[in-house]
Amino acid sequence: MLEAIILTIITAATPLLLAATGELVVEKSGVLNLGVEGMMVMGAVAGFAVTISTGSPLLGIVGGAVAGMLVSLIFAFVTLTLVANQVASGLALTLFGLGLSGLMGESFVGQPGLKLQSLDVPGLTDLPFVGKILFGQDILVYLSFAAVFGVSWFLNRTRAGLILRAVGDNHTSAHALGYSVVGVRYLAVAFGGAMAGLGGAYLSVAYTPLWVENMTAGRGWIALALVVFASWIPWRAAVGAYLFGAVTVLQFHAQAFGVGFPSQFLAMLPYLATVVVLVAISGNRRATLFNTPSSLGKSFVPDR
């Protein structure tokens, strides 16, 4: 029973973690991309399409990442090259992604997909209790953890990460030192797009191998909230993703056990939890001051 619950928490948390880790890097570079939901849902539909047309869920995942990256580049062009308002452009990206995925996915509705297999390690996976949890997951689960460690290492230990943080902290200074603010941000947005695409592909290829319209159901927005929750620190995003995964799963189990409580109110839990957490986090502004990218959401035009 507990094992089953932990397994479902992992599947609920993984897409959130993938998308949040990507968005964290984007925001660290000073860009606020509110289009995570749109990029995720594009990743979901592309992942499903590539999977059933090639018969390979692995290729499907790659397809999801590519789709997420491609739509993120539209956002990058509009906000970085043409310096349009990032908030409005992010909303446009979400609307565009939801529409285009619905259009592309129309023929897939009701079709069975292929499920991404878990990486079973003979012997280890059969260990009691921990076996399945630690060694019986699919590649995206491991990838989501690798991404957390990778991003953490990148931001704090590499020169490229230092430059990315510098661009997010003060783009005018970074430009004065000769760094390409727009170039760095393009790369960050593309990475964020790919990660959101992966998170979306996880839903349609690993979580439930199906295509349902708007199947991300607000997860992109929760991923955005997680970045704030994490105060731009990668490991905290992982903690947050698993907390939210747990809340979601709790709601399902409570419904299954027929807790004398309307199911709608239980379904509200993840969203209400997001609001509560956001409030709790924003109460402590001093502590997050050094991690918040000061240039977040501000357009940059070098003077010539």
Partner 1 sequence: MGEGTGDSTGEMLRRVGGDTPLLEVRHVTKRFGNFTANDGVCLKIMPGEIHALLGENGAGKSTLVKIIYGSLQPSSGGIFWKGRPVTVGSPAEARALGVGMVFQHFSLFDAMTVAENIALALPNCRATGELAETIARVSSNYGLPLDPDAHIADLSVGERQRVEIVRCLLQNPELIIMDEPTSVLTPQEADQLFVTLRRLAAEGCAILYISHRLEEVRALCHHATIMRRAKVVAEADPAKETVNTLAQLMVGNEITRVTREKGKLGPEAILLKGLTQVSQDAFGVSLQDINLSVRAGEIVAIAGIAGNGQKELFDALSGEEPLEKEDMVIFAGEAAGLMDINERRLLGAAFVPEERLGHGAVPALKLSENVVLTRHGTGEGIARRGFTRFGKAGRIVETVTSLFDVRKGVLDPEARSLSGGNLQKFVVGREVERTPKILIVAQPTWGVDAGAAAVIRQSLIDLSRKGAAILVISQDLDEIFEIADRIAVISRGYLSRAEDADTLTTEKVGLLMAGGAEKKGAAAA
Partner 2 sequence: MMRLELVKRSEKSRLMSVLSPVVAVALTVVFAGIVFAAQGHNPLTGIWYFFLEPITSLWGVEQLITKATPLVIIALGLSVCYLSNNWNIGAEGQLTIGAIVGSIPPILFPDFVNPVVLPLMLLMAMAGGALYALIPAKLKTVFGTNEILTSLMLVYCSNLFLDWMVRGPWRSPQGYNFPITIDFHEWAVLNAVDVGGIYLNLSAPIALLLVIVLAVVMRSTLKGFEIRVLGQSPRAGSFAGFSTRRMTAFAFALSGALAGLAGMMVVMSEIGKLQPVISPGYGFTAIIVAFLGRLNPIGILIAGLVIASSYLGGEAIQTSLQMSSKLATVIQGVLLFFVLAADTLILYKVRLVTGREGESAHA
Would you call 50 helix, strand, or coil by DSSP? helix
CA dihedral 234, 239, 241, 244 (to 10 degrees): -150
Min separation Cβ 170 and partner 1, Å:
5
Judged by CB under 8 A, the residue of 110, 178, 260, 283 near partner 1 is 178
Could you tell which of partner 1, partner 2, none binds residue 183, using a CB distance below 5 to 8 A set by kind? Answer: none
Min separation Cβ 194 and partner 1, Å:
26
Could you tell which of partner 2, partner 1, none binds residue 111, using a CB distance below 5 to 8 A set by kind? Answer: none
* Cα–Cα distance for residue pair 73/51, rounded to 1 Å: 23
Min separation Cβ 286 and partner 1, Å:
5
Q: How many residues bind partner 1 (CB under 8 A)?
A: 26
Q: Would you call 138 exposed, middle or buried from its count of C-beta atoms within 10 A (0-12, 13-18, 19+)?
A: buried
Could you tell which of partner 1, partner 2, none binds residue 158, using a CB distance below 5 to 8 A set by kind? Answer: partner 1
Residue 138 phi, psi (nearest 5): -80, 170
Min separation Cβ 136 and partner 1, Å:
38
Residue 224 phi, psi (nearest 5): -60, -45
**Quick check: 163 binds partner 1 (CB under 8 A)?**
yes
- Cα distances from 39 to residues 2, 68, 70, 77, 81, in angstroms, run 33, 5, 9, 15, 19
Segment near partner 1 (CB under 8 A), from 34-42, 112-120, 155-163, 233-241? 155-163
Residues in touch with partner 2 (CB under 8 A): 34, 74, 77-78, 81-85, 87-89, 91-93, 95-100, 102-103, 106, 218, 221, 224-225, 228, 262, 264-265, 267-268, 271-272, 274-275, 278-279, 282-283, 285, 301, 303-304
Could you tell which of partner 1, partner 2, none binds residue 214, using a CB distance below 5 to 8 A set by kind? Answer: none
* Cα–Cα distance for residue pair 51/105, rounded to 1 Å: 13
Per-residue burial over 202-222, b if 16 or more Cβ lie within 10 Å, else e, is: bbbbbbebbbbeebbeebbbb
Would you call 148 helix, strand, or coil by DSSP? helix
Residues in touch with partner 1 (CB under 8 A): 157-159, 162-163, 165-166, 169-170, 172-179, 285-286, 289-294, 304
